[in-house]
Structure 1
Amino acid sequence: MVRLKSLTRVLVAFVLAVPLALATSSSADATSRLTGGLVDFGCATHGQLHCLGKAIKSPKGPGPKVVSTPVGYGPAEIRSAYGLSGLHGSGRTVAIVDAMDAPTAEKDLATYRAARGLSPCTTANGCFRKVNQHGAASPLPKPDYGWAEEISLDLDAVSATCPDCHILLVEADSPDTDPLMTAVDTAAATPGVVAISNSYGGAEDSTIKAADAHLDHPGIAITASSGDSGYGVSWPASSPYVTAVGGTTLTKAVGTTRGWSESTWSGSGSGCSALEPKPAWQHDTACAKRTVADVAAVADPKTGLGVYDTYNSCGGGAACDLLLQLGLAQGADGWVQVGGTSLSSPVVASIYALAGNSVTSGAQAYAHPGELFDVVSGNNGKCGGSYLCTAGPGYDGPTGLGTPNGAGAF
Structure 2
Amino acid sequence: MTSENVCSPAPDTVTCLAELRTDIPAMANSSPDGDNPPGYHPRDIQSAYQLPRNGGYGRTVAIVSAFDNPNAESDLAVYRRTFHLPPCTTANGCFRKINQNGGSTPPPLTDPGWATETAVDIEAVSAACPRCRILLVEADTNSLNNMLTAVTQARTQGAKFISMSWGLPEGPGQLALDQTYFNFPGIAFVAAAGNGGYSGFFYPAASQYVTAAGGTTLDRSLQRVPGPQAKRSGWYESAWSRSGSGCSQIQPKPPFQTDPDCPMRTVGDVSALADPATGFAFYSTFSSPGWRVIGGTSVSTALIAAMYALAGNPGPADRPNSYPYAHRRAFWDIDQGSTGSCGGSYLCTAKIGYDGPTGIGTPRGVLGLRR
Structure 2 length as normaliser, TM-score?
Answer: 0.92
| 8 Å contact kept, 2:53–2:129 | no
Tell me which residue corresponds to 2:306. Answer: 350
> What residue identity is the alignment partner of 2:269?
D
Distance 2:11 2:250 in 1: 24
- 2:266 maps to 1:291: yes
Gaps of 5+ in 1: 1-35, 59-63, 312-330
Match of 1:337 among 284, 288, 293: 293
C-alpha change, 1:356 and 1:169, in structure 2 (3 Å) is same
Mark the structure with the bigger radius of gyration.
Answer: 1
Alignment equivalent of 2:166, drawn from 182, 194, 200: 200
Residue 221 (structure 2) pairs with residue 253 (structure 1): yes
Who is 2:204 aligned against? 236
1:256-302 deviations in Å (ceiling 9; x for gaps):
34210000001100000010111011110100100000000000011
* Alignment partner, residue 343 of structure 2: 384
Match of 1:126 among 67, 76, 93: 93
Cα-to-partner distance string for 1:300-331 (whole Å, 9 max, x where unaligned): 011111110103xxxxxxxxxxxxxxxxxxx2
- Aligned AA for 2:20? A
Deviation of 1:87 (Å): 5.0
Alignment of 1:106-255 (within 5 A): 106-191=73-158, 193-213=159-179, 214-232=181-199, 233-255=201-223
Q: Which moved more, 1:224-233 or 1:338-347?
A: 224-233
Classify the secondary structure of the residue corresponding to 2:98.
strand
User: Residues 45 and 175 of structure 1 are in contact (CA less than 8 Å); yes or no, is this contact kept in structure 2?
Assistant: no
Contact 1:43 1:147 in 2 (8 A): no
Letter in 1 for 2:311: A
Query: 1:229 offset after TM fit, Å?
Result: 1.5
Equivalent position SS for 2:262: coil
Contact 1:41/1:147 (CA < 8 Å) preserved in 2? yes
Residue equivalent to 2:67: 100
* Inter-partner Cα distance in structure 2 for 1:362 and 1:65: 37
Residue matched to 2:246: 271
Pair 1:66 & 2:66 matched: no
Kept after mapping to 1: 8 A contact 2:246/2:267? yes
Whether contact under 8 Å (2:257, 2:325) holds in the other structure is yes
Residue 85 (structure 1) aligned with residue 52 (structure 2): yes
**Aligned-pair identity (%):** 48
Task: Please show how residues 12-91 of structure 1 align to structure 2 within 5 Å.
Answer: 36-43=1-8, 45=10, 47-58=12-23, 65-68=25-28, 69=30, 70-86=37-53, 88-91=55-58
Paired amino acid for 2:160: V
CA–CA distance in structure 2, aligned partners of residues 273 and 262 of structure 1:
25
Deviations 1:80-102 (A, max 9, x none): 00011355001200000011111
Q: Given that residues 300 and 340 in structure 1 are in contact (C-alpha distance below 8 angstroms), is that contact kept between their aligned partners in structure 2? A: yes
The number of aligned residues is 350
Range with bigger deviation, 394-403 or 302-311: 302-311
Judge conservation of contact 2:54–2:130 (CA < 8 Å) in 1: no
Q: Equivalents in 1 of 2:270, 2:81: separation in Å?
A: 31
CA separation in 1, counterparts of 2:12 and 2:188? 25
The letter for the 2-side match of 1:291 is: T
1:88 maps to amino acid = G
| SS of match in other structure, 1:121 | coil
- CA deviations 1:358-408 (Å, max 9, x no partner) are 142411111101110000000011112100000000000000000001001
Q: Distance in 1 between matches of 2:54 and 2:207?
A: 29
The two structures have a TM-score, normalised by structure 1, of 0.83
Quote how far apart the aligned CAs of 1:76 are. Answer: 0.2
Bigger CA drift: 262-271 or 135-144? Answer: 135-144
* Gap regions ≥5 residues in structure 2: 31-36, 225-231
CA–CA separation in structure 1 for the residues paired with 2:217 and 2:307: 18
Structure 1 residue 45 displacement after superposition: 3.1
Alignment partner of 1:362: what SS? helix
Letter aligned with residue 365 of structure 2: G
Structure 1: how far apart are the matches of 2:19 and 2:153?
27
Name the amino acid aligned to 2:289. D
Opposite residue 207 of structure 2, the aligned amino acid is: S
What secondary structure does 2:160 align onto? strand
Query: What is the alpha-carbon distance in structure 1 between the residues aligned to residue 195 and residue 78 of structure 2?
Result: 28
AA in 1 matched with 2:352: P
Letter in structure 2 aligned against 1:200: W
Cα distance 1:87–1:281, how it changes in 2: closer, same or farther (>3 A)?
A: farther
Q: Partners of 2:150 and 2:4 in 1: how far apart? A: 27
Distance 1:308 1:406, change over 3 A: same
CA contact (8 A) 2:215 2:300 kept: yes
Match of 1:262 in 2: 237
